[in-house]
Amino acid sequence: MRALPALALLSAVATGLSGCSTGDCAAPAGCVRAERHGGACGCAEWEIVDTQAVTLPYVVTDVDYQPFGAGSGSYTGHAWVPMLDRYSDTSEGTNVRIVIRSADGGERVARVGNVDPATGLERVTESVLRTRRVVTLILAPDPVDISDPGRDFIELWMNAALTVDTDASGARIVHWSLGSGPDPAGGAYQGIAIPVRTLQEGGSGASWLDDYLAGLGPEGRAEIVAFDERVAGPPMSERYLWIESSVVIDRQHTATLYQWTPCTDPEAFEVLAETAVPLANGETLVLQYGVQADSTCSPQSPGMYLEMTPGCETGYQMFVDRLSGKLMMLASPHGTCTGP
């Protein structure tokens, strides 16, 4: 094979670096700043060509299932578990990402941009955030031994404010801020832990909250209730990981620390639930919820303490909700209370 002269070889190399000179990189159209990496040029910052402000009526930050037993309690985060002399060890919140869905069904995962520290959001990956509790109001019923799903709680971050940027390459960048709560007296309530039954009935007794629930409409409230699959009952979807079946009987006290591993690859995102908000040009902003995990897929250890009052007993199945990381009990086959 005939060797190319040195001058011709240099010319061939320079031609292959499209858009670049042998010195500084030449920025292509729409590129604000170009940089050279590994001998090739690329755009390091694209011009923003469109910006849309979006309000999410709600973000689900937790689903909290009421355990069986009036004296029972579940333990997450770093909490002391009675009878075990050990702490629970779990992440808190839900893992979310934004996808922009085009009119023809195509999807583009958005990158996380600026995040207001007041939101408490934690970056898990370039596109995934983990929510933190922003609850400032809790509507709590009294504990009972055989708890029905209407007594479960769903925690909502209300009226989250997003800004969606589109750059010249077509990429989407989403910036997050706290927004304003629905309370007319200064928007004091950014988040609420609300019983499923209140969502089902649409009334709470607080006028500002009832106005917010009315604004969601029956379909919007049903969409939130669907985050608690205990309402519809078994069979449970793959979102719920079965742990054990057992029995808790009259006057029994028992405590258990469970362990589960949420993922093996923090970059993977298994979609467990989603909600949607329309955008301009026929596009849709989709808020997707994945498996609750941190950036290292650390094992989770939630705890449960069970205490039935005299005259009450139940068989149960124990699950972990992979979306919220919370333990969930189903009566199996049923629970009874014959005492006072």
What is the pLDDT, as a whole number, of residue 169?
92
Closest CA to 67 of 224, 253, 241, 219: 253
**Distance (Å, whole) CA 70 – CA 65:** 13
Give the tokens for residue 186.
């200064």
User: Average pLDDT of 189-195?
Assistant: 83
pLDDT(58) > 90: yes
**Distance (Å, whole) CA 151 – CA 149:** 5
Greater confidence, 68 or 182?
68
Confidence of residue 278 (pLDDT cuts 50, 70, 90): very high
Helix (H) or strand (E) holding 157: strand 153-167
Q: Are 295 and 266 in contact (CB under 8 A)?
A: yes
| Cα first-last separation, the chain | 98
Q: Are 92 and 277 in contact (CB under 8 A)?
A: no
- With H, G, I as helix, E, B as strand and everything else as coil, classify residue 222: helix
Confidence of residue 189 (pLDDT cuts 50, 70, 90): low
Q: Are 240 and 227 in contact (CB under 8 A)?
A: no
Q: What is the pTM of this model?
A: 0.86
pLDDT(85) > 70: yes
Tell me which range, 12-16, 20-24, 221-225, 294-298, is most confidently predicted by mean pLDDT.
Answer: 221-225
Confidence of residue 12 (pLDDT cuts 50, 70, 90): very low
> Strands 111-115 and 107-109, how do they pair?
unpaired
Cis peptide before 28 (omega within 30 of 0): no
pLDDT(236) > 90: yes
Q: Which of 93-107, 141-155, 233-247 is predicted least confidently? A: 141-155
Give the tokens for residue 251.
């006057």
What is the pLDDT, as a whole number, of residue 140?
64
User: Average pLDDT of 179-189?
Assistant: 65
What is the pLDDT, as a whole number, of residue 2?
46
